[in-house]
Homo-oligomer: A and B are copies of this chain.
Amino acid sequence: MDRVDGRKQGQIRPVRMTPNYNKYAEGSVLIEVGDTRVICTATVEERVPPFLKGLGKGWVTAEYSMLPRATGSRTIREAARGKLGGRTMEIQRLIGRALRSVVNLEALGERSLTMDCDVIQADGGTRTASITGAYVAMIFALNRLVEQGMLEKIPVSDFIAATSVGIVKGRPVIDLCYAEDSVAEVDMNVVMTGTGRFVEIQGTGEEATFSREEMNQLLDLAAAGIEELNKVQRQVLGDIAAKIG
């Protein structure tokens, strides 16, 4: 019994990353996971938010947005509505938190990294693709600071990547495309490090519930998939990958 797009239960979609996609950003990557496409850019600024001023620490934050026609039917721009939606805020808080879990903010110094994740086309898994891509863009930007002599080394302790898992028609699967996501009984986003530790687990049964056993199956799938994503990240980073941790 294959999935809607012919994939196996534990098979992630093809992942492609185009580094330095943007000529201005300090780090950038276009990540494509199947038909999901996200431009991730890293901006370095020599200042921190007010609550960190004078503490000698840096900050990493993220913003997330979808182009109006990233989706099957056009969605109204949040700028036009005059406010960010709850889903957007939830996602950008998640991305920032995930990245910060492996960054040594003291070693970063009083500077901030803003990761912009702009979804050009959405086919499920945009938040996890954003994390996986933003991680790479962030490393590019930090490596540049090292090369410019502003940092001694990349202040990052581990890799970070993310994927979605879920229960579709009673069966646990990984990396749901939109057609699967829209009918899933359980939806779970998992962020893990390169050494297999959890950074974030968000599992939710919309109008449904799930057992401890099902949860364990989902986490097994996620762990295997994230290992594969780490490999793609290492390839794109090339020599820089060795400087992490």
Residues of A bordering B, CB below 8 Å: 22-25, 28, 35, 39, 41, 43, 45, 63, 65, 67-72, 74, 77-80, 82-90, 92-93, 97, 100-102, 105, 114, 116, 118, 120-121, 158, 188, 193, 196-212, 215, 219
Residues of B within 8 A of A201 (CB): 188, 201-204, 215
CA A120 – CA B39 in complex, angstroms? 9
Binding site secondary structure of chain A: mixed
- 18 A-B pairs with CB atoms under 8 Å apart are A22-B69, A22-B70, A23-B121, A41-B68, A63-B77, A63-B80, A65-B77, A65-B79, A78-B79, A80-B84, A82-B83, A84-B86, A101-B209, A105-B207, A197-B211, A198-B212, A199-B204, A199-B205
Q: How many copies does the complex hold?
A: 6
| Closest B residue, CB atoms, query A90 | B90
Shortest distance in angstroms between A154's beta carbon and chain B's nearest beta carbon? 17
Residues of B within 8 A of A211 (CB): 197-198
Q: A69-B24, A69-B28, A79-B84 are in contact. Are A205 and B198 (CB under 8 A)?
A: yes
* A72 & B24 in contact (Cβ 8 Å cutoff): yes
| Closest B residue, CB atoms, query A193 | B209
CA A84 – CA B79 in complex, angstroms? 6
CA A56 – CA B111 in complex, angstroms? 30
